[in-house]
């Protein structure tokens, strides 16, 4: 983490040569290679192998971003021509906050179009990229529709975050509506796009990182994004509104875990890490340890998609989600309780809804 911390704020990166293999693996795993390697390459004592690996990552990242930017331009202009006003999520919008945008690795294009524009936007993308690989259906319960154009994944979002509890869903929908309605203009490589309003963008990026933690796929890159958002927009974040949003979604305790990590591991100023607290130190450090090591293994799961009895499938799904709540309890008892309540509520709803055998 010390190499990431230094690189994030434009400082000289010290690369312990004896740890080269471990650090190369860790940066690949956490999506931080393009951030750390440019500075590390200045060291004279790197092995030829390490130097080649680092250069390779930097070159591939720049090449991929060139292709991503071209596809983004085609998709954005097609949507604009059709009168569909998208909002760019993650990726290039966050890369613009880094000292050099090429330091932020991103592998796909996320465009929020909302529920009303969802089906027209999907049609526009299929027309714009007729040879793209696509899903056969634009399913209403999906968070986004995905197609792959020239090797680039484009995700058209109905919603920016998928939530299972109906009350969470309604509350977040209001937050999302405001954040997207107040979207701001940004120019990326000559292309004028819209990105979420700063306060909502902080909430969204944080929730996206936490969503990945719930599925054991979080990365340090997401923490870097959050740190830079808090630093870049520190004078424009509506702290009372952000706090109300976090509390309404049962995420205040989780936020404090992240704030502690951002301060102690990534060097964010305490004044910028809203609602920082020392009381969560042990749990925050445990969360970061698990994130870095990816030591936690998913509980053995029974393959249930082919089981004809829907009640058996629903029972096993509930067991899996309750096990996740027990895992999260080690970090946040508040959110674990909410996960348990959500699992029961959502399970009851799905039990009597139209059967979807792939769930």
Are residue 94 and residue 118 in the same domain, yes or no? yes
- The answer to the question of residue 90 being in a domain is yes
Q: Is the pLDDT of residue 297 over 80?
A: no
Determine, yes or no, domain membership for 132: yes
Q: Do 212 and 290 sit in the same domain of this protein?
A: yes
Bridge partners, residue 184, by sequence: 195
Q: How confident is the model at residue 304 (pLDDT cuts 50, 70, 90)?
A: very low
Q: How far is the C-alpha of 132 from the C-alpha of 126, rounded, in Å?
A: 7
DSSP 280: G
Count of CB atoms situated within 10 Å of the CB of 302? 10
Whether residue 147 is found in the same domain as residue 80 = yes
pLDDT the model gives residue 176: 97
Residue where one domain finishes, among candidates 296, 315, 330: 296
Confidence grade of residue 341 (pLDDT, cut at 50, 70, 90): confident
Asked which of 241, 264, 296 is the last residue of a domain, the reply is 296
Within this chain, do residues 19 and 139 fall inside the same structural domain, yes or no? no
Buried b (16+ CB within 10 A) or exposed e, 144-153: bbbbebeebb
Same structural domain, 83 and 184: yes
Q: What are 33-57's pLDDT values in tens digits?
A: 999 999 999 888 899 999 999 999 9
- pLDDT by residue (tens digit) across 143-193? 899 999 989 999 999 999 989 888 999 999 999 999 999 999 999 999 999
Q: How far apart, in Å, are the Cα atoms of 256 and each of 223, 270, 285, 331? A: 13, 12, 12, 11
Phi, psi of 144 (to 5 degrees): -150, 165
Q: How many whole angstroms separate alpha carbon 125 and alpha carbon 236?
A: 34
Q: Are the CB atoms for 120 and 149 separated by under 8 Å? A: no
Share of the chain above pLDDT 90, in %: 69
Provide the pLDDT for residue 312.
60
- Distance in angstroms between the alpha carbons of the first and the last residue of the chain: 37
Please give the full DSSP string across 239-273, using - where no structure is assigned. HHHHHHHHHHTT-HHHHHHHHHHHHHTT---TTTS
In this structure, of 23-27, 66-70, 134-138, 149-153, the range with the lowest mean pLDDT score is 134-138
Count of structural domains, the chain: 4
What is the average pLDDT across 224-251?
Answer: 97
Query: Residue 59 falls within a domain, yes or no?
Result: no
Does 52 reside within a domain? no
Name the residue range of residue 179's domain: 64-196
Give the per-residue pLDDT at 298: 41
pLDDT of 207 reads: 96
Using CA atoms of 221, 5, 9, 33 in order, give the dihedral in degrees to the nearest 10: -50
In this structure, of 130-144, 159-173, 285-299, the range with the lowest mean pLDDT score is: 285-299
Whether residue 192 sits in one domain with residue 69 = yes
190 occurs within a structural domain: yes
pTM here is 0.89
For residue 134, tell me if it sits in a domain.
Answer: yes
Do 232 and 278 reside in the same domain of the chain?
yes
249 plus 324 within the same structural domain: no
Residues 337 and 348 both lie in one domain: yes
Token duo for residue 155: 């995700």
* 175 and 82 within one domain: yes
Q: Is 104 left (phi over 0), alpha (psi -120 to 50) or beta?
A: beta
**Low-confidence winner among 164-173, 230-239, 322-331 (lowest mean pLDDT):** 322-331
């Amino acid at each position: 983490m010390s190499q990431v911390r230094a690189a994030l704020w434009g400082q000289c990166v010290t690369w312990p040569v004896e740890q080269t293999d471990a650090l190369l693996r860790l940066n690949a795993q956490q999506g931080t290679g393009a951030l750390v390697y440019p500075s590390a390459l200045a060291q004279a004592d790197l092995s030829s192998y390490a130097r080649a690996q680092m250069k390779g990552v930097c070159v591939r990242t720049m090449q991929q971003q060139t292709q991503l930017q071209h596809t983004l331009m085609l998709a954005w202009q097609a949507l604009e021509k059709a009168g569909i006003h998208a909002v760019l999520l993650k990726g290039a919008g966050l890369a613009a906050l880094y000292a050099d945008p090429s330091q932020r690795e991103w592998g796909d294009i996320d465009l929020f179009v909302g529920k009303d524009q969802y089906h027209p936007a999907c049609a526009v993308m299929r027309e714009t990229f007729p040879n793209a690989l696509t899903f056969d259906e634009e399913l209403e319960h999906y968070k986004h529709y995905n197609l792959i154009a020239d090797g680039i994944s484009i995700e058209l979002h109905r919603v920016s975050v998928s939530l299972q509890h109906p009350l969470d869903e309604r509350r977040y929908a209001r937050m999302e509506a405001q954040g997207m309605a107040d979207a701001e203009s940004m120019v990326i490589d000559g292309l004028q796009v819209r990105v979420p309003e700063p306060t909502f963008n902080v909430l969204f990026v944080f929730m996206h990182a936490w969503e990945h933690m719930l599925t054991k796929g979080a990365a340090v890159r997401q923490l870097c994004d959050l740190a830079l958002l808090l630093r870049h927009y520190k004078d424009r974040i509506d702290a009372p509104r952000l706090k109300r949003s976090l509390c309404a979604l049962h995420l205040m305790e989780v936020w404090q875990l992240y704030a502690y990590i951002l301060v102690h591991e990534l060097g964010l100023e305490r004044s910028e890490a809203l609602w920082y607290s020392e009381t969560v130190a042990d749990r925050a450090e445990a969360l970061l340890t698990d994130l870095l090591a990816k030591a936690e293994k998913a509980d053995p799961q029974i393959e249930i998609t082919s089981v004809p009895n829907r009640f058996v499938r629903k029972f096993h799904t509930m067991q899996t989600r309750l096990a996740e709540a027990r895992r999260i309890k080690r970090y946040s008892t508040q959110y674990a309780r909410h996960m348990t309540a959500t699992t029961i509520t959502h399970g009851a709803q799905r039990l009597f809804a139209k059967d979807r055998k792939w769930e």
